[in-house]
Amino acid sequence: MFRRSRLAMLCAMQFTRDFRLDINLIRSHTTGALVIGDQTYTSNLILSPSQIMPDWAVASTEFLTIEQLKDALAMKPGILLLGTGELQTFPDPELMAAVMGLGIGLEVMDTAAACRTYNILASENRPVVAALII
């Protein structure tokens, strides 16, 4: 049996075993990277159970616009998870109201929490989309 340092255990989280091979599930999250299936992503992305849109051009939630969420909203989610990086930061309240005005639930959380929540909802066949700042 090998020993892993406490820091290594804190930096790399294994989220789920891939029991569902028919949907996109996040296998792990570390600072600066996500593993979905066998692919590692190091840039922000939009994710649904059936689609991955890498290279989402958003730097932070501070200046996030509805236009930057158009690809995520086009996937017709029942719930949109916004992963805001290492810390939970909220976008402009008007943006949040605009998304909710479309009948879409919006949950804002740090990216690690958004990854865990996404896996649960996707595994339950819920209409979820995650917009993740890595």
The tens digit of pLDDT for each residue in 61-105 reads 999 999 999 999 999 999 999 999 999 999 999 999 999 999 999
Higher per-residue confidence, 31 vs 67:
67
Domains, the chain, ranges and CATH? Answer: 43-133 (3.40.1230.10)
Please choose, from the candidates 79, 120, 121, the residue with its C-alpha nearest in 3D space to the C-alpha of residue 99. 79
Higher per-residue confidence, 13 vs 2:
13
What does the angle CA 25 – CA 79 – CA 16 come to, to the nearest 5 degrees? 20
**What share of the chain in percent tops pLDDT 70?**
84
6 contacts 32 by C-beta, under 8 angstroms: no
**What is the C-alpha separation between 128 and 51, in angstroms, rounded?**
11
Whether 42 shows a pLDDT value over 70: the answer reads yes
The whole-number average pLDDT for the span 23-33 is 95
Give the C-alpha distances (Å, rounded to integers) separating 6 from 11, 12, 35, 96: 9, 10, 21, 37
How do 79-84 and 128-133 pair as beta strands? parallel
| Beta-ladder partners of 54 | 45
Which pTM does this prediction carry? 0.84
Whether 1 shows a pLDDT value over 80: the answer reads no
